[in-house]
Amino acid sequence: MGKVGLGLAMGWAAVTCAIAAVMVGRRVRRRQEWRRVMAVVEELEEACSTPVGRLRQVVDAMAVEMHAGLASEGGSKLKMLITFVDRLPNGSENDTYYALDLGGTYFRVLRVQLGGDRSGILRHDVERQPIPQHLMTSTSEEDLFDFIASSLQEFVQKEEGVSEASTVKKRELGFTFSFPVKQTSVSSGILIKWTKGFAIEGMVGRDVSECLQQAMSKKGLNMRVAALVNDTVGTMALGHYHDKDTVAAVIIGTGTNACYWERADAIIKCQGLLTTSGGMVINMEWGNFWSTHLPRTSYDIELDADSPNPNDQGFEKMIYQECIWVTL
């Protein structure tokens, strides 16, 4: 081979060894990093573990809170709110209806034409708009509701092809308002508190429907709030419209909540409550549910501490955290 060839061979060998050393070193580091990642995942998996026995404990704890909430106002972490909705759609509805959905960073306006005789939805039109951040934390509720009423007016005029909304018959509006509300009738209710990043001063304790009605009147919009419901109730109504066996609904999104059909005689805090159907939809407001059996992790604790409302809406925050992990 000669001295030159031997020198080149030794040089290439040295280079090869160096490259191999670098690659081995990187592989070792990657394996170490991977082991650390897997350790975190395994720790999280163990902390979030929900064997059947534990789930039954959570179910039992929620059942106790449900009974307490039905027995007295303020007697439970679950508000178990009366909705005054004692009848649900059954497919016989035949007309054109409007709806407004407010409950997150967006709101929707809808126009639905129902054919009756279980023919289903003949037509539906919907628009979705973001809510400007400054309106979510405004110092006046008028700013938010004026914005909503203007958007609703534009939608009505575009869909019906009229220049003046007041030239046609008074429309019926269903208002889905996804915040804790103490209902005073099927079409009115008092805001208990804001959630989901909303914090409008002076709104708590006000009648939500009245605020929207005043804003619509200022715009000359000939429309009446015929029903004020939580988004869970709206979801349940739609489910029952398509399937009469639907008895509950659950929302998992920016927040979480559930509602279900309850016997009137089981609602002890409203003894003597008369309904034509013998039952009523209960808005559970379960976002504030808490039990020591829930698998709370260090991540849940940090999220709660950094939130605008520490030690509140614990169940809701845990579900939100879980949604983040699933997304990742």
Q: Find the catalytic residue in 143, 182, 193, 196.
A: 196
112: amino acid identity, one letter:
V
* 248 in Cβ contact with 261 (< 8 Å): yes
Could you tell me which of 114, 112, 107, 99 has the C-alpha nearest to residue 148? Answer: 107
* 200 in Cβ contact with 136 (< 8 Å): yes
Q: Find the catalytic residue in 86, 101, 146, 231.
A: 231
Active site residue 125: no
Measured CA to CA, the distance from residue 85 to residue 15 in angstroms comes to 80
Measured CA to CA, the distance from residue 159 to residue 204 in angstroms comes to 33
Active site residue 231: yes
Could you tell me which of 159, 147, 161 has the C-alpha nearest to residue 216? Answer: 147
Phi, psi of 285 (to 5 degrees): 50, 60
* 207 in Cβ contact with 188 (< 8 Å): yes
**All residues at 6 or more sequence positions from 116 whose CB lies less than 8 Å from its CB, including other chains:** 91, 92, 93, 94
Helix %, strand %, coil % of the chain (to 5): 45, 20, 35
The catalytic residues are 196, 231
